[in-house]
């Protein structure tokens, strides 16, 4: 059973998506809403195949094409963010009711460390004021390598999947 706040968020994003599809004369298929729900039940970053296989393994009949097409629609309407962490593959994450955060990315093992630092928002606000500009969002990716070389090597051997680690600055 999902957390009540998560359930409320799922209801809200479904309504936002329904309105978006209706305004653009797009079909409101059950499969599209199942993809949306799968995304909002998940945490962290995922690729299209993660969603497809999670749904397939749960017994949901949905095509890979439907997952890819739905992801495009969800990115367009702002419910999902698309990220590219230095590779050719796109990763996605929820966008609605999800705390703004940034990423440290290891070029060796591919680990993605999510972090939130309020000073970045302060810089953003200051830049808006200085440049008379309204920021609607930002993306910060810092690339480097893990200092813990043993953990980095272990992650490299585990495969090429992104691992998310969340950290919040004090």
Q: How far apart are CA 91 and CA 99, in angstroms?
A: 17
**What Cα–Cα distance (Å) separates residue 170 from each residue in 91, 118, 119, 163, 165?**
28, 9, 10, 22, 16
pLDDT value at position 1? 47
127 CB contacts (<8 Å, ≥6 apart)? 133, 135
pLDDT classification of 130: cutoffs 50, 70, 90: very high
Q: What percent of the chain has pLDDT over 90?
A: 39
Averaged over 117-146, what is the pLDDT?
Answer: 85
Give the pLDDT of residue 52.
Answer: 95
The reported pLDDT for the residue numbered 19 is 92
The strand pairing partners of 165, in sequence order, are 113
Quote the pLDDT of residue 43: 76
Strand pairing of 164-168 and 112-116? Answer: parallel
Task: Pinpoint the residues of the chain covered by CATH 3.30.1490.190.
Answer: 102-168
Residue recorded with tokens 């230095």: 86
Other beta carbons within 10 angstroms of residue 55's beta carbon come to 19
The class that CATH gives domain 102-168 is: alpha beta
Whole-structure pTM value:
0.61
Q: How far apart are CA 24 and CA 59, in angstroms?
A: 30
pLDDT at 112: 77
Sheet holding 102-106, edge to edge: 141-144, 102-106, 112-116, 164-168
As to burial, measured by CB atoms within 10 angstroms (0-12 exposed, 13-18 middle, 19+ buried), residue 35 is: buried
Instruction: Identify which has the larger pLDDT, 152 or 117.
Output: 152
Distance between first and last Cα of the chain: 32
Which residues of the chain does CATH 1.10.10.10 include?
A: 4-94
Q: Is the pLDDT of residue 115 over 80?
A: no
CATH no., domain 4-94: 1.10.10.10
């Amino acid at each position: 059973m999902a957390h009540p706040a998560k359930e409320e968020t799922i209801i809200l994003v479904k309504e936002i998506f329904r309105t978006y599809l209706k305004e653009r004369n797009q079909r409101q298929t059950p499969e599209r809403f199942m993809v949306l729900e799968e995304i909002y039940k998940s945490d962290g970053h995922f690729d299209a195949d993660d969603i497809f296989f999670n749904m397939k393994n749960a017994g949901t009949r949905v095509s890979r094409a439907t997952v890819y097409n739905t992801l495009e629609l969800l990115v367009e309407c702002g419910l999902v963010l698309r990220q590219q962490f230095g590779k050719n593959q796109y990763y996605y994450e929820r966008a609605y009711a999800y705390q703004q955060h940034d990423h440290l990315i290891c070029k060796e093992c591919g680990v993605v460390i999510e972090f939130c630092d309020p000073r970045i928002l302060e810089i953003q606000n200051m830049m808006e004021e200085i440049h008379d500009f309204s920021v609607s969002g930002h993306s910060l990716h810092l690339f480097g390598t893990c200092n813990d070389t043993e953990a980095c090597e272990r992650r490299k051997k585990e495969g090429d999947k992104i691992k998310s680690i969340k950290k919040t600055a004090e």
